Amino acid sequence: MELKNIAFLIVLLSAAGIFARNASRLIAWLKVGKPDNRFDRIPERLRTTLVVGFGQSKILRDKVAGPIHAGIFWGFLVLLFSAAEMILEGLNDAWSFNFLGPVYSVITILTDIFCLLIIVGTMMSLWRRYVTKVKRLQVEAEKVEAGMILLTIFGIVTALLVQNSLRAPVHGEDFSWAVRPVAHPLGKGLAAALGGGAEIAFHVAFWMHALLILAFMNYLPFSKHLHVLTSIPNVFLGPLQPTNAMAPINFEEEGVEKFGVVDIEDLSWKSLLDGYTCTHCGRCTSVCPANQTGKVLDPRGIIVAIHDRTMDKAPLILKQQQGGELTTEEQAVWDKKLIGDYVSPDALWACTTCGACMQECPVNIEHVPAIVGMRRSMVMMESQFNDESALLPDIYGNMETNAVPWGGFGQADRANWADGMGIKTAAEDASMEVLFWVGCAGSYDERAKKTTKAFAELMQIAGVDFRILGTEENCTGDVARRTGNEYLADMLTKTNVETFQRYNVQKIVATCPHCFNSLKNEYPQYGFNAEVIHHTQFIKELVDSGRLKVDRSKLSKETVTYHDSCYLGRYNDEYEAPRATLENVPGLTILEPARAKDRGLCCGAGGGRMFMEEHVGDRVNVVRTNELLETGASTIAVNCPFCTTMITDGVKAADKADSVTVRDVSEIVLESVVRPS
């Protein structure tokens, strides 16, 4: 082994040792989080990792930045071979992967191609960040670091390309443009220009390549580019369907002193890993309805705050666990609060839990559970509300007393909408094809009751043998759960599950996507596993099976635009059933808004925002309604009672109430079906 090889070995071992020390610290800090089993359903996790992680499916949703980043990512996967070969060559000049024969030729071709793509990609990224100044990338504290990282990547790849191009003139390696399509012509040009200095240039390029990689590796644990190491594991460990089901709290567990997320030790270790993994790309913030309408909520900022608090407090937690005493400065850090010092309470209350942030995040970070977790501690531990959420204690009181969020109603009134329709309750006859879960809005809100009656009439026309619970139906607990009152949600859920089990309910249909999501995805956590479908899905089933027949003589002249509700769409991936149902209406013209399906904008009512005020910025429902009005449609079709209210208010705000109507899908279909003679 020559002196240069010994020097390389010393540098390599030193860099590896420093990296191992820092990596072990990061892993140890994760352990302050709560346990969370993320090693279940391995086949699904592997499939998600291949599609989202290696396939970059979410990255590619951005048609400009997506291909740039994907090219750099795939390029670095290919360049791992070059990095490994660099280590071999540093230890012994004669070592390489050329013994792989034809496979090595494929590697060298891909290396050259991706070197070029990465160089172009870094230049385009620099241009987007510093020249065109893409809004979501303009974070003042990150301007210098982002540029430095991009220039480091540029330097690594350029050094590798120069090194490979000079292999032939320096070492006499015989390769053609066919196996090194970029390095071959570049090498000829460099050799001619450098003459006898080519060998020096080769060794400079080698050491530049090696040192930049080793320096970059040791910079990662302290930078936002830690995601280079954690993104693939985070995708593998990420949420599976249902992605937005809130984990319940076991209130019967002994010794529990805190409910919800008070500080980082109350988050799961996976949430702390989310903090490590955040790429700071801002995709989550760029689609957040609250942020885009001027609220203080910044989903990226929430995750960055979790990261920062972890870095500040986790070492202190471990120090205390090991019997160490905190210094005055450390105690000051310890005494800070996650909610207040790192995360704004107003930001937490602004969230509509629409899930757009999680939909867009390229590394499957879970923003919504973290936000709801912090809401839980504010509500159940501190009774902390802001001006906009000040009415929530009254809402909770209504649900505790009458199992409905609105005041002025009682359980005795819950089935009044069905008077004169001949609808049986489960108590009258528990033998049924399906239970119709009406929901609070569908039972009490005057506008929502029109949807309830329309859907019930459709089922009667189709001959569906259905029942309702009537006065035995309670709120599903969605509003309580999403606003942080998990104790109340737990109570309501258990009451409903007992009722379902008493009547041996096997199938439920719901007109409210919030009820639908709770029953389908969260009630199984309480041992209830019936089939749960949304009413638009059931209508499609009835039409497809011929139980509902469309009257082709009734030609509609309506132009309709359809609004995707978040809890049916993003939460449950149902976009086609409502559209297919509308397409069955003869003569109906459907006009898609600019933002539709999984890119659709929230109406603003989710996450309990239906029962809060909105004082800051533009109103989310008005912004969304204006997008729908831009289609020129005469009717806005919806599938949710909350959306109905919010979009109707938006139409009134736009002074379009005389020319544009807001109707549920069931109401539109009811006008087109063949009725029994």
Residue 496's φ and ψ, nearest 5 degrees, are -65, -40
| pLDDT per position as a tens digit, 107-123 | 999 999 999 999 999 99
CATH number of 395-544: 3.40.50.1860
CA torsion, points 263, 269, 271, 275, in degrees to nearest 10? 90
Residue 623 has pLDDT above 90, yes or no: yes
User: pLDDT at position 172, please?
Assistant: 65
Task: Find, among 520, 522, 545, 548, the residue nearest to 534 by Cα.
Answer: 520
Q: Where are the beta strands (DSSP E) in 275-321?
A: none
Which residues are paired to 305 by β-bridges?
A: none
Question: Please, what is the average pLDDT of the chain?
Answer: 94
User: pLDDT at position 171, please?
Assistant: 67
Residue 638's φ and ψ, nearest 5 degrees, are -130, 170
Matching CATH number, 559-670, of 1.10.220, 2.40.160, 1.10.8, 3.40.50: 3.40.50
Mean pLDDT of 501-516: 98
User: pLDDT at position 242, please?
Assistant: 75
Residue 175 has pLDDT above 70, yes or no: no
User: pLDDT at position 557, please?
Assistant: 83
Mean pLDDT of 413-439: 97
CATH topology assigned to domain 239-384: Fumarate Reductase Iron-sulfur Protein; Chain B, domain 2 (1.10.1060)
Task: Find, among 306, 368, 312, the residue nearest to 339 by Cα.
Answer: 306
Measured distance CA(574)–CA(542) in Å, rounded:
17
User: pLDDT at position 177, please?
Assistant: 63
| pLDDT per position as a tens digit, 371-405 | 999 999 999 999 999 999 999 999 999 999 999 99
| pLDDT per position as a tens digit, 486-499 | 999 999 999 999 99
Helices and strands counted in the chain (H then E): 28, 8
Residue 514 pLDDT level (bands cut at 50, 70, 90): very high
